[in-house]
Amino acid sequence: MTHFSTIAVVVIDAPADGHEQEVAFWQTATGQPLQHYKKFPEYHGAQLHGKNLGFLVQRLYDGPARVHLDIHTDNLEAEVTRLEQAGAVRVQQVNGWWIMHDPAGLPFCVIPEEPGAFTEQNAQRWD
């Protein structure tokens, strides 16, 4: 099915005991304040200046520190299916998006966007 997707967010996954230190560090490193999201309190984030790329620091409640990517799409099921055909595995659906693992077992997320959010100028078209 024709749809669009793009790598939209870089996410730093930080264990709970180091989360605030990570937020402070990445605010300094990026030169931008990282907003605390009330709807999802485990996240602090911002759009990077001059880029069509988001940046988040996520508080983990278990697991090691790591970095993962979020792929945004205008058709969640079509994108998840496409990625499964490429070797990814669905792990868990949370808050309307999918946590997946790539073939090496690394996590990433597939996040739905509103229809019409993407065009050939800001995302990859998949037929």
Q: Is residue 115 part of a domain?
A: yes
CA angle 48, 51, 53 (to 5 degrees): 65
User: What's the mean pLDDT in 116-121?
Assistant: 94
Phi, psi of 114 (to 5 degrees): -65, 145
Q: Is residue 53 part of a domain?
A: yes
The pLDDT score that the predictor gives to residue 82 is 98
User: What's the mean pLDDT in 24-28?
Assistant: 97
The pLDDT score that the predictor gives to residue 1 is 79
CATH number at residue 101: 3.10.180.10
Dump pLDDT digits (tens) for 54-109: 999 999 999 999 999 999 999 999 999 999 999 999 999 999 999 999 999 999 99
Q: Is residue 104 part of a domain?
A: yes
The pLDDT score that the predictor gives to residue 74 is 97
Domain count, the chain: 1
Q: Residue 107 corresponds to which amino acid?
A: P
Phi, psi of 83 (to 5 degrees): -70, -35
The pLDDT score that the predictor gives to residue 42 is 95
Distance CA(68)–CA(5), nearest Å, equals 16
Q: Is residue 16 part of a domain?
A: yes
Q: Is residue 39 part of a domain?
A: yes
End-to-end CA distance of the chain: 6
> Between the CA of residue 80 and those of 26, 41, 53, 60, 72, what are the distances in Å?
30, 26, 21, 23, 11
User: What's the mean pLDDT in 9-34?
Assistant: 97
Distance CA(38)–CA(124), nearest Å, equals 31
Confidence of residue 50 (pLDDT cuts 50, 70, 90): confident
Q: Is residue 126 part of a domain?
A: no
